[in-house]
Structure 1
Amino acid sequence: MLQKVGKRFLVRARFTWRSLFDDQFLLVTNTLTGGSLLAMGDVVQQSWEIHKEQSKVLDWKRIGYTFVMGCSTGPLLHHWYGRLDSAYAGRAMNTVVKKVLADQLIISPIIGIWYFIGMGLMEGDTLAEGWKDFKGKFWEYYKADCCVWPPVQMFNFYYVSPKYRVMYINVISLGWDVFLSYLKHRVSQMTATPL
């Protein structure tokens, strides 16, 4: 009896999971996983901050803001990968390299700008303050980005089916999301130590 129930559950779960990647639900799946995993990355970073400074508590507003930012990048990546696959069809190595270069030179800086300015606006900064924050942290962001994402994207564009690309990126980016949260919210040494 118990085996039949377990087997039925696994069969239902399998078909439910598959339906999340059908064309009609794929955009929603990509959007919600992007938001959830970016928020989870922020929770990990805040937990580390709390570990270092016991007086801190989880900032639920900040977690909500990161969820919104992650949800906003889901559709962007969903459509970006579709366009990239249309522009550069196939899995030949030169095609994969073109996709990685386009991803690194075009969408990566856009997502960085989107994240820093968007988070800044939600946290009460002006557009100019958000832009200044991004400019001040851009090279640190982009150098790390160039170390992490090209190999990840080589694998993505060569092996991963197009409908799973954003999910793959969302899962891999959990560690990246911790770094983004750290970079955005770290207190600079100049402002942290009183003179």
Structure 2
Amino acid sequence: MRKYFRVVKCMFKNYPVVSNSIIYGSLCVGAEFSQQCITKKLMSTPPQPIDTDMVARYAIYGTTIGGPLLAVWYRWLDNKFVGTSIKIISRKLLIDQFFMTPQLLVIFYVAMSVMEKKSNLFEECRQKFLPTFKNSCMFWLPVQSINFLLVPPAFRVTYVGCCSFAWVNILCWIKRQEY
């Protein structure tokens, strides 16, 4: 078991973007799959099949867009603001939530619209950005406080990915809503 943890630690140290992208993408897939199991299998009468195309889109987004962006972002944030004082953590929280999060939400909605081949790539983002951002603040501010205070930098994206399992379920639900 120790050997396994050494290998994982080595992968995260030597290949942080790739390692975090694979984990983040896998967690996005798991979140979308579990969300569909709830909404399509348990809450629908009759049960509906899993939308595998949507699961694939979350795999693409999480592995090739979200994971790499977050890995690079947290590395930059940790190098720019070193330490765990209240002042530094507050800066990280505010910059993360009010600078990076809006960009990630726009990227998410536009990337999904591109993959869904929608004619207006920005319409869903325009309709859902504010409700998504409000929910994001309620969810991520406490989660990121723990992240910046307690989680070692090498595991920040993995921690965020694990929390994203819950967040992507919320995001999937918001995405399916009509506004």
- When structure 1 is superposed on structure 2, of 60-69 and 177-186 the one drifting more is 177-186
Within the alignment, does 1:167 sit opposite 2:158 as a pair? yes
Which whole-Å CA distance do the structure 1 matches of 2:114 and 2:47 have between them? 26
Q: 1:111 aligns with which of 85, 101, 104?
A: 104
Within the alignment, does 1:37 sit opposite 2:27 as a pair? yes
Give the partner amino acid of 1:177: V
Q: Please name the residue that 2:88 is paired with.
A: 95
Q: Please name the residue that 1:13 is paired with.
A: 4
Deviation at 1:21, TM superposition (A): 1.7
**Partner deviation per Cα, 1:110-146 (whole Å, 9 max, x = no partner):** 11111111011101113xx231111111121011111
Q: Please name the residue that 2:134 is paired with.
A: 143
- What number of residue pairs does the alignment pair up? 176
Give the partner amino acid of 1:39: V
Which whole-Å CA distance do the structure 1 matches of 2:20 and 2:9 have between them? 13
Within the alignment, does 1:63 sit opposite 2:48 as a pair? no
Q: Please name the residue that 1:26 is paired with.
A: 16
Q: Please name the residue that 2:75 is paired with.
A: 82
- When structure 1 is superposed on structure 2, of 145-154 and 51-60 the one drifting more is 51-60
Which whole-Å CA distance do the structure 2 matches of 1:31 and 1:166 have between them? 8
Deviation at 1:86, TM superposition (A): 2.2
What's the secondary structure of 2:136's corresponding residue? helix
Q: Please name the residue that 1:7 is paired with.
A: none
Which whole-Å CA distance do the structure 2 matches of 1:93 and 1:15 have between them? 32
What's the secondary structure of 1:145's corresponding residue? helix
What's the secondary structure of 1:18's corresponding residue? helix
Which whole-Å CA distance do the structure 2 matches of 1:14 and 1:26 have between them? 15
Deviation at 1:29, TM superposition (A): 1.0
Deviation at 1:183, TM superposition (A): 1.3
Which whole-Å CA distance do the structure 1 matches of 2:149 and 2:62 have between them? 25
RMSD over aligned Cα atoms: 1.4
Unaligned runs of 5+ in 2: none
Which whole-Å CA distance do the structure 2 matches of 1:16 and 1:70 have between them? 23
Which whole-Å CA distance do the structure 2 matches of 1:42 and 1:31 have between them? 16
Deviation at 1:12, TM superposition (A): 3.0
Within the alignment, does 1:156 sit opposite 2:147 as a pair? yes
Which whole-Å CA distance do the structure 1 matches of 2:2 and 2:91 have between them? 40
Which whole-Å CA distance do the structure 1 matches of 2:12 and 2:67 have between them? 14
**Partner deviation per Cα, 1:18-73 (whole Å, 9 max, x = no partner):** 22322x22111110111111111110111122122224201111101001111111
What's the secondary structure of 2:12's corresponding residue? coil
Unaligned runs of 5+ in 1: 1-9, 190-195
